With several copies, the nearest count.
Chain A
């Protein structure tokens, strides 16, 4: 009786997953197909296929350089925010100290307050110290929301780790640094994976702060993309789609690479798979 209900439930879930995946793939496909289409009106498929939108976009936005810059910036942001965010999250998860709510608020604010308010003064500060206009300026500006993001996100993951395992590492001579390297980070891999992936996606898509602090040679892909979508003037949908596809690929690569090498499920679950 109830197991029939359970089966129904499971079927429903899988049905939804299939529904979701099919529609998302179809949606992506329309964009991909369109980006290769010459002209697509009122029919199942475009009239003919071409590469010209890619070629044009590539040339117009000097995408080679832009992609390289984007990767560098995203890489640096992700790395730095993990490096300083995870330890901070660790402290917040493990210790109760006076003023902790205030610190939490400090980390929440950059996520809550839209960049409109602080983007310009932040850029001013960065221009004053001579960082804006360079790649580092963009990296630092992007760190302002990603560091707190990483901190907040990592807290529950750290709480899940058994402090006794940490205790063991300390007893056997691991100081905080090596505790992180040898024990915490490997155990936190799923959380760090999620945090870095999401931080990367956010950096790549952070238009406002990037634009405000980027110089002519430190613009990232999203600036070009937004330009092609929102700037005045006529632009073929196919060309926008081509840009969007390039944008997607630029993050998709990392997602696939990351999930290829890192398992999003934690070690406990992997070792002790529940009953078949």
Chain B
């Protein structure tokens, strides 16, 4: 079987669209992925990430647009002809095969010899730390173990393009870090392209060369982890990237990219204008950047506090009823008044009404 993806240089999605009845799950997604690139697909639940992967894998047909591998159009190819590896969000393990056969399945289909299969399966099981469970059926595994089988199955075939749909969501923190390292290692080793869906920012930031943020089936932003982390282009992307505080206000003063805005606190906030058209704006600040400081411009009342290990994270209400999320090293009492502030370079300002 000629596998379409073997040795490709670039994968190009051209206005890829997919509808479910009247619902447009993907709207003209265009994206070019180079060989060796690691792309993270980020976006809120239900935004079309899995749909995009399924379209890429050939499991869903496109409603419109096309997919190209170099000069070859592949969206008409059957899944088995594309030769991609995939970790399904719901695992989709073969319930009748033991772990070993599940992992070896792809190799078997690609006509790899028995002994080679055994070797590579062992290797893949080692990677996901499942050597001892090799003889179990999927139904006898824990959720995380199943997920790891799904990962092992995808990497065992060493595919030129790997699609991973939240592959680590059911693993504990320690294992996640380990697996993350393994995934990166394998990605480098194979020189393959990886498209990785995750809801975990850390994962996206640490693994990806580029991050694609989807929302409602549309691409909202494509950029490097740094770009996305520091300078989301839209208020909604910012909110999604962890800028949980979204305060409405008006522009007071601008000086170049610097900006001063009034949100009804004791003093104007100073921030960086990312995309400010009119006067009405939204200020985005990460909870981690909003901390109690003696003369902070934001006066608020603490409404809740939770422990997060390295610090406490609290909620508070501003004078206009704004919900505020902040960080503090010392526990505060509920009801206590607090003054909060954030560094100007960590305070982003967007035009209101553009948040989608």
Contact = CB atoms under 8 A, between A and B. Distances in A.
Interface of A: 2, 162, 164-165, 167-175, 178, 182-183, 186-187, 267-268, 271-272, 275-276
A167 B95 contact: no
A187 B96 contact: yes
A173 B109 contact: yes
B58 interface: yes
Interface string B150-167: 000100010000000000
Given A164-B90, A275-B79, A171 B96 contact: no
Given A164-B88, A175-B1, A182-B105, A276 B61 contact: yes
Contacts of A169: 94, 105, 109
Interface string B162-185: 000000000000000000000000
A173 B157 contact: yes
Contacts of B110: 173
A270 to B, nearest CB: 8
A271 B139 CA distance: 6
B333 interface: no
B214 to A, nearest CB: 21
Contacts of B157: 172-173
A175 B58 CA distance: 13
Contact of B95 (A170, A171, A172, A268): A268
B320 interface: no
A171 B94 contact: no
B78 interface: yes
Given A182-B105, A186-B96, A275-B79, A171 B57 contact: yes
Contacts of A164: 88, 90, 92
Nearest to B3: A173
A271 B86 contact: no
A182 B80 CA distance: 14
Contacts of B57: 167, 171
A172 B78 CA distance: 11
Nearest to A270: B139
Given A271-B140, A275-B61, A172 B92 contact: no
B314 interface: no
Given A173-B157, A275-B60, A168 B92 contact: yes
Interface in B78-101: 78-80, 82-86, 88, 90, 92-97
B81 to A, nearest CB: 8
B25 to A, nearest CB: 14
Interface residues of B, number: 35
A167 B93 CA distance: 10
A123 B117 CA distance: 52
Given A162-B92, A168-B86, 9 more contacts: A164-B90, A168-B93, A170-B58, A172-B109, A173-B106, A173-B110, A267-B95, A268-B95, A271-B138
A178 B79 CA distance: 13
A271 B109 contact: no
Given A164-B92, A182-B105, A276-B61, A171 B137 contact: no
Contacts of B60: 275
Interface in B235-262: none
Contacts of A183: 94, 96
B153 A172 contact: yes
B59 A167 contact: yes
A271 B94 CA distance: 13
A131 to B, nearest CB: 37
Nearest to B109: A173
4 A-B pairs closest in CB distance:
A271-B139, A173-B109, A172-B106, A170-B79
A275 B109 contact: no
Contacts of A268: 95, 139
B1 to A, nearest CB: 7
Interface string B58-74: 11110000000000000
Contacts of B97: 186
B170 to A, nearest CB: 15
B80 A171 contact: yes
Nearest to B54: A167
A157 to B, nearest CB: 14
A272 B136 CA distance: 12
A232 to B, nearest CB: 54
Contact of B137 (A173, A271, A275): A271
Contacts of A175: 1, 78, 80
A82 to B, nearest CB: 18
Interface string B101-125: 0000110111000000000000000
15 contacts: A167-B57, A167-B79, A170-B58, A170-B80, A171-B82, A171-B85, A172-B80, A173-B1, A173-B157, A175-B1, A183-B94, A186-B97, A267-B139, A275-B58, A275-B59
A186 B96 CA distance: 7
B59 A170 contact: yes
A100 B205 CA distance: 50
Contacts of B83: 173
Contacts of B80: 170-175
Nearest to B108: A182
A171 B59 contact: yes
Nearest to A268: B95
A178 B107 CA distance: 13
B161 to A, nearest CB: 11
A168 B139 contact: no
A178 B1 CA distance: 13
A162 B94 CA distance: 10
A242 to B, nearest CB: 43
Contacts of A271: 95, 137-140
A170 B79 CA distance: 6
Contacts of A275: 58-61, 78-79
Contacts of A2: 1
